[in-house]
Amino acid sequence: MTFGTVIAIVGAAIAATLAGIGSAMGVRLGGQAAAGVVSENPDLFGKLLVLQALPGTQGIYGFLTAVIIIVRMGLLGGSAIALTTGQGWALFGAAMPIGIVGLFSAIYQGQTAASAIHMTAKQPDASAKGITMCALVETYAILALLVSILLIFGIQL
């Protein structure tokens, strides 16, 4: 295994890990808020579940990016490409947008989700508005995912 391959694997691992940590924290915030509301009004469980789940998407994006890097490197087929150090660093860099943006956007989305859950507790009909508010934070995670994917497919291996 070349040094370039090791660097690319580290990049894939960081993308999945950071985005996953962000999502776990975001979903936790939403979950705490939802638990508080549901303990007083169990009927709202269905509406709140969607809001709680929204910050979980960044973790999926990080996972997706890591899988694409692994597939491009040929690690799954057993015939890994011997990457140069330059190629390795390029893939590492390509993994960073979703790793870093995923981490922070998931936490901020979790905070927005918690506030939206509190809004839904007062006005149950406003849950769709809360979803829209959370989706706006999601935009930046999607943009980061796009950049990561374009970069990964743009690198000549």
Partner 1 sequence: MPQASYPYAVGRIKVLETRMLDKAKWNRLKEADEQEAFKILTESGYGSGAATGGNVALLIKAELEAARQVVLEVTPDEEITGLFLLRTDAHNLKTLLKARLLKTDAQTILAGSGSFSLETLQKCVSDADYSALPDSFASALTQMEQKLQKHTDPLMLSASVDRAVFEHVLAVLKKHRIKNGFIRNYFTAQIDFINVLSVVRARALQWKSEKLVQLLIPGGELLERDLLEAVELPAEQLPRKLGYGANGRAIASALEEYLQTGSTQGLERRMDSALMTLAKENKYDSFGMGPVVGYLLGREAEAKALRVLFAAKRANVPVALPELYA
Q: Are 94 and 144 in contact (CB under 8 A)?
A: no
Q: Which of 29, 54, 96, 145 binds partner 1 (CB under 8 A)?
A: 29
**Using the rule CB under 8 A, is 41 a contact of partner 1?**
yes
**Using the rule CB under 8 A, is 156 a contact of partner 1?**
no
Q: Are 2 and 84 in contact (CB under 8 A)?
A: yes
Kindly tell me which of 32 and 85 has the beta carbon lying closer to partner 1: 32
Please report, as residue ranges, which positions from 56 to 85 form the binding site for partner 1 (by CB under 8 A): none
Give the C-alpha separation, 85 to 104, whole Å: 29
Kindly tell me which of 33 and 141 has the beta carbon lying closer to partner 1: 33
Contacts 24+ apart (CB under 8 A), 141-144: 141/57, 141/58, 141/61, 141/98, 141/101, 141/102, 141/105, 141/106, 141/109, 142/61, 143/101, 144/61, 144/97, 144/98, 144/100, 144/101, 144/102, 144/105
Q: Which stretch binds partner 1 (CB under 8 A): 7-15, 27-35, 92-100, 149-157?
A: 27-35
Residue 4's φ and ψ, nearest 5 degrees, are -60, -40
Kindly tell me which of 41 and 139 has the beta carbon lying closer to partner 1: 41
**Using the rule CB under 8 A, is 32 a contact of partner 1?**
yes
Q: Which of 2, 17, 84, 115 binds partner 1 (CB under 8 A)?
A: 115
Please report, as residue ranges, which positions from 123 to 152 form the binding site for partner 1 (by CB under 8 A): none
Binding positions for partner 1, rule: CB under 8 A: 29-30, 32-41, 111, 114-115, 117-118, 121-122
